[in-house]
Amino acid sequence: MRSSRRSNDKNRAIIAHSGHSKATVSPAERDILKAVLAYLAVHPKVAWAARMNTGAIPVGNRLFRAGFVGCSDIIGQMRDGRFLAIEVKREGKRLSDAQYTFLSRVTANDGVALVARSISDCEIGLQE
């Protein structure tokens, strides 16, 4: 039962103030990402899904770039062959223009594209 408790903690973080009252804060994006990947791994309509790392890191005297600007956090494929793109965002955070453009291109080409702030966003987005 420890894993279910841990997943509940990731879906809703509670912090205490003054030892008496509690305030709800949105979970960290990395925790939402882990939960979404776990959900996709067992979803019957999803063939595969993988985390896409993007950005740049220095390697020696060069800059190594991973991914491309606007690429979603998760890409994959639906069992019916459609491309899957999921951008994970913490509550209150917005898509960049490049992320919006990428998701729009996926949708325009009959792929499945969604923004996930929680598991329920994935449930709704994958109901098609």
pLDDT tens, position by position, for the chain (128 residues)? 444 444 333 333 322 233 444 456 778 999 999 999 999 999 999 999 999 988 888 999 999 888 889 999 999 999 999 999 999 999 999 999 999 999 999 999 999 999 999 999 999 999 86
Name all domains of the chain by residue range, CATH numbers in brackets: 28-125 (3.40.1350.10)
- Phi and psi (nearest 5°) for 10? -70, -35
CA dist 57 and 107 (Å) reads 30
pLDDT of 24: 64
- Tokens 């994970």 belong to 88
pLDDT of 23: 52
Q: Are residues 70 and 104 in contact, defined by beta-carbon separation less than 8 angstroms?
A: no
pLDDT of 19: 41
pLDDT of 65: 87
User: Which token pair is 94?
Assistant: 């917005």
H or E, element range at 119: helix 119-125
- Nearest partner of 126 among 34, 32, 30, 36, judged by Cα: 36
- Nearest partner of 4 among 38, 28, 29, 27, judged by Cα: 38
Per 3-state DSSP, what percentage of the chain is helix, strand, and coil (rounded to 5)? 35, 35, 35
